Amino acid sequence: MPEVVLSVQNANIYQGSNLVLQDVNFNVNRGEFVYLVGKTGTGKSSLLKTLYGELPLKEGEATVAGFNLKEMTWKKVPFLRRNLGVVFQDFQLLTDRNVYENLKFVLRATGWKDEKLMEEKINDVLDKVGLKSKGFKMPFEMSGGEQQRVDIARALLNSPKVMLADEPTGNLDPETSDEIMQLLFNICKDYGTAIIMATHDFIVINRYPSRMLKTERNRVVDSAAAVEI
């Protein structure tokens, strides 16, 4: 039996009082890679934000990495985030400190205290993303592709079962996008992390085909679901 690490049942997704997506239903298994596609403004980011606790789940049910979003309070959001990796299009690195300190900041913020264990963990995630000797670099000294790798390394720090990525190749050239996609697929395969990636990049999707969730007309259509007649 596959292990379900993310489950959304009869969920309505809101931005404030605006209903963005209605009756959303899907499950994601351990190690699965799922694209989230759909026209601009159809609710991809809103869905991801709900899954990482930035928007409240008002109606329906959802469980992410063992956390019931319906019972989520602001106080519990940091615990959800510790079990979840989030990757953004614009990297969102702290510009005033080097890569190592960026990663250490997240470890400290998520409760790590032991200096030696933190050092080991940081070296481990930098190795995983192919930046083993780049910890001393400042973000502004790195290319967009390298910064995206640091962002992915940051998402890997707490060995998440689920990673949510909002257009991670949006600012990258095709060759660098390719490298990032290979890295994300390897993370799924090697560590069993499930990844949901919002994207507009059909070149990437054609090169790395996988299951697709499509937002359209206030609904989410799942390529893995049986076609309804």
Ligand X SMILES: Nc1ncnc2c1ncn2[C@@H]1O[C@H](COP(=O)(O)OP(=O)(O)OP(=O)(O)O)[C@@H](O)[C@H]1O
- Nearer of residues 15 and 159 to ligand X, judged by Cβ: 15
Q: Are strands 194-198 and 33-38 parallel, antiparallel or unpaired?
A: parallel
The separation between the first and the last C-alpha atoms of the chain, rounded to the nearest angstrom, is 28
CB of 20 vs ligand X, minimal distance in Å: 5
Which residue lies nearer to ligand X by CB, 20 or 142? 20
Residue 180 Cβ vs ligand X, minimum distance, rounded to whole Å? 18
Residue closer to ligand X by CB (options 14, 100) is 14
31 binds ligand X (CB under 6 A): no
What track of x and - describes contact with ligand X for positions 186 through 215 (by CB under 6 A)? -----------------------------x
Per CB under 6 A, contacts with ligand X among 34-63 are 38, 40-46
Query: CB–CB of 80/91 below 8 Å?
Result: no
CB atoms within 10 A of CB 3: 11
In whole angstroms, give the CA distance from residue 51 to residue 13: 10
* Locus of tokens 């963005």: 20
Compute the least distance from the CB of residue 186 to ligand X, in Å.
Answer: 26
Give whichever of 158 and 215 is closer to ligand X, judged by the CB atom: 215
Q: Are 61 and 10 in contact (CB under 8 A)?
A: yes
Q: Which of residues 1-20 bind ligand X (CB under 6 A)?
A: 15-16, 18, 20
Instruction: For the segment 78-137, give every residue that binds ligand X (CB under 6 A).
Output: none
Q: Does residue 63 sit in helix, strand or coil?
A: strand
Kindly tell me which of 43 and 160 has the beta carbon lying closer to ligand X: 43
Burial track 67-82 (b if 16+ CB lie within 10 A, e otherwise): bebeebeeeebeebbb
Please tell me whether residue 219 adopts helix, strand or coil conformation. Answer: strand
Binding residues for ligand X, per CB under 6 A? 15-16, 18, 20, 38, 40-46, 215
